[in-house]
Chain A
Amino acid sequence: MSTSTEADDTLYIALLQVCDRSFFTLVESCDGTRFAALVKNAASDAAFEDMSDAAGAPPQLDWLKASVAFDATFSSGEFEIYLPTKLARWLVASMLGTPGAADSGDIQLPDEQMFDGMGEFGNIVCGSWLTELGRNQAFNLASPHVARVPAGWNPLAEVTNRERRQLVCINDLPMRVVIRPSNTE
């Protein structure tokens, strides 16, 4: 198994490559402080756009989780991506080549297409990471699972010592990637 630092580096490289080649956008790594600011800003924007929110209620972001179970000789576990639905819609629209809609922020994308696109996003990022990390060792990926994250979830929560976390910024919106090794490792 590779070192944790190598796993983090290869994950970031995989995110960069996937977003560059298939989603035509840049990825910036960010620390916890900047990530928290991004989450706060995005939640404030969402609350401003949704005037139906109860007055005084803390702003909430609508988050999506795309997860892929992976199994390789060198590692196995769960690969999870958390991102606001606004970013998910933007990424899928960008992947499908509808930059006008993506740039304007007015993206009319059916939930089914957003879910499918984010499953593919998770699949590609996880596969790219494992290809780079495994140095030509084969691996298996399960079908991706995409779901809305229940309200009240904390995007800033720390991970355990065994888990890996990557915080990034895409298009001024936060994305959190978590790798949970299986219990057998």
Chain B
Amino acid sequence: MQKGTRAVVTPVNVLIVDDSATMRMVIRRVIDLAEVPIGTVYEAANGLEAIRILEASSIQAVFTDINMPVMSGYDLLDEIARRDGWSNIIRIVVSTDGSRLRREEARELNVHAYIQKPFRPEAVRNALSRIPHVDLH
């Protein structure tokens, strides 16, 4: 492929999991600005809602918070890791906790990127570039 051009790609379906509706709106807006071909953006307020959406839809990338009521982000990531059919989903944590311990815990759950709040839009863009068939360069 010629440098400076973008590959023909299939739109990416994204799931945003955060108990704050405001934060979900912010992440959705930043994803829209990332110039990645996005298909459908789904939203869930906790891990349990997210699992129901994952079971019913084809999702390529999940952005999830950690501290949430009903089911936490780590429980959600643990569930995704245990399901064979979900092994290709790109997992991105968006959390206020930027500690090394939390990042290591996320790595053990096969998380592809860890974004600490507050974040700049480039952090989301870089995370999206980890989806195998998305080339942002």
A and B interact: yes
Chain A contacts to B: CB under 8 angstroms: 17-18, 20-22, 92, 95-97, 113, 116-117, 119-120, 123-124, 126-128, 130-131, 134, 136-141, 143
Contact with A along B9-29 (1 / 0, CB 8 A): 000000000011111011001
What residues on B are CB-neighbors of A117 within 8 Å? 20, 22
Knowing A136-B101, A138-B102, A143-B69, the reply to whether A126 touches B96 (Cβ < 8 A) is: yes
> A143 CA to B19 CA in the complex, in Å?
9
Chain B contacts to A: CB under 8 angstroms: 19-23, 25-26, 29, 67, 69, 95-102, 116-120
Q: Are A96 and B29 in contact (CB under 8 A)?
A: yes
Say what secondary structure dominates the interface of chain A: helix
Among candidates A92, A96, A141, residue contacting B96 with C-beta atoms closer than 8 Å = A141
Q: Are A95 and B22 in contact (CB under 8 A)?
A: yes
Q: Are A92 and B22 in contact (CB under 8 A)?
A: yes
> A181 CA to B19 CA in the complex, in Å?
26
7 CB < 8 A contacts A-B: A95-B26, A96-B29, A124-B118, A127-B95, A128-B118, A137-B101, A143-B67
What residues on A are CB-neighbors of B96 within 8 Å? 123-124, 126-128, 131, 141
Knowing A18-B118, A116-B20, the reply to whether A140 touches B67 (Cβ < 8 A) is: yes
What residues on B are CB-neighbors of A20 within 8 Å? 118
Q: Are B116 and A120 in contact (CB under 8 A)?
A: no
Q: A92-B22, A123-B117 are in contact. List 5 more A-B contacts (CB 8 A).
A: A96-B29, A130-B97, A137-B101, A138-B99, A138-B102
